[in-house]
Structure 1
Amino acid sequence: MSDTGRKPVGDKMSETITPDTQKSYGEEIKERVTGAYDKIARDMQPPESKSTSQSTADTVTGKSSEAKDTTEAHQQSFTESAKEYAASAQKHAAETLHSAGDYLSGKSAESK
């Protein structure tokens, strides 16, 4: 059961359960639009005016959204760190190769 103007809880569950690979482009767009509208309605509707089922659904989807946002932030942070480590390793490898080349060509002996 959903409150007036809100996306039915059953529709939310169905959309979540159905893999994106089984959805048409139109279905995905519709879910995004109706989902965005429902989030706005959720935030604007006072908690005391929500039915028990709507309140529960909002709590669950809110926690799910928070977890997803946190996961995406950690993933982005991890990706940035990995890029930094890779760049640093590449720089050190290039410096090592350059030093080895200088050593093998005798440049380091000449500089002393």
Structure 2
Amino acid sequence: MSVHYKRFLKVLEKWPVDKSKSGRDLGEHLREQFKSILAESNINAVKSDNLDKQFEALDRLSRNIYAEKYPRIHNSTASGLTGDQCKQILTTEFLRYLQEENSK
């Protein structure tokens, strides 16, 4: 399991927790999943092949393999917003603001 532990730590280093998306952040979710795997009474019972597949998929995502393999031709989005604007809209703070506006 130590091999899996080291591989998963490397993926977690590449995927920091985004505090602006508390409760909805992938980095946070990955850390919780890893804790649950470590908390199991019989850690050797975890299927090694499934963990390997998960690690490989997360590693490919964290290294942007597909973004490099299939580069985008246009930087437009369906909403017409830039990537930074989309990032700001998805913060917990902004979503809370929208909920307050809708409740008025």
TM tier, smaller: under 0.3
Higher helix proportion: 1
Structure possessing the higher relative contact order (Cα contacts under 8 Å, 6 or more residues apart):
2
Normalising by structure 1, report the TM-score. Answer: 0.26
Normalising by structure 2, report the TM-score. Answer: 0.27
